[in-house]
Amino acid sequence: MAKQTLSVLDSTFTIHSLSEEKAIPAAVLCSDFYFIGKTHDELSLVVKEDIVIEAIESDYDWRVLEVLGPLNLSMVGIMADISAVLAAAKISIFVVSTFETDYFLVKSETLSKAVAALKKARYDVIQ
């Protein structure tokens, strides 16, 4: 029996680093899928690659594996287990979460390897 089901999103994404005082571009807020993280010294954005942003640094060509939920906040170990599977396969990740689920970003060139590792670890992956 499978542990959880993950779905590979169709789009390719970029992770941007901006200064903490930079305004969030309107194109981001109008997009149908984005993540914003802000601390006292950094603003990070995850957006579809077709959204152009002036950033301090950008890392392109990420694909997203969505853990299909909703996941209850009291559930323990899902993110840790998936991360461990991908780490064992030597796949770098960038993880973002919402109230109901987790999203694992992997570089496009490692997507097939990530999917294979997850399937071997008894996860269902929808492509």
CATH number for 38: 3.30.2130.10
pLDDT tens for 28-76 read 999 999 999 999 989 999 999 999 999 999 999 999 999 987 666 666 6
- Split into its structural domains, the chain has a count of 1
Burial class of residue 119 (count of CB atoms within 10 Å of its CB; 0-12, 13-18, 19+): middle
pLDDT of residue 69: 77
pLDDT of residue 76: 65
pLDDT of residue 2: 66
Q: What is the mean pLDDT of residues 15-19?
A: 95
Q: Are 24 and 36 in contact (CB under 8 A)?
A: yes
Domain of 15 in residue numbering reads as: 5-126
pLDDT tens for 70-127 read 666 666 678 899 999 999 999 999 999 988 888 999 999 999 999 999 999 999 999 9
CA distance 114 to 111: 5
pLDDT of residue 3: 84
Tokens of 94: 């960038």
Q: Which of 122, 120, 127, 76 is nearest to 106 (CA)?
A: 127
pLDDT exceeds cutoff 90 at 1? no
Q: Which of 15, 121, 23 is nearest to 60 (CA)?
A: 15
pLDDT of residue 77: 77
Q: Nearest 5 degrees, angle CA 86-CA 90-CA 92? A: 70
3 state DSSP class of 29: helix
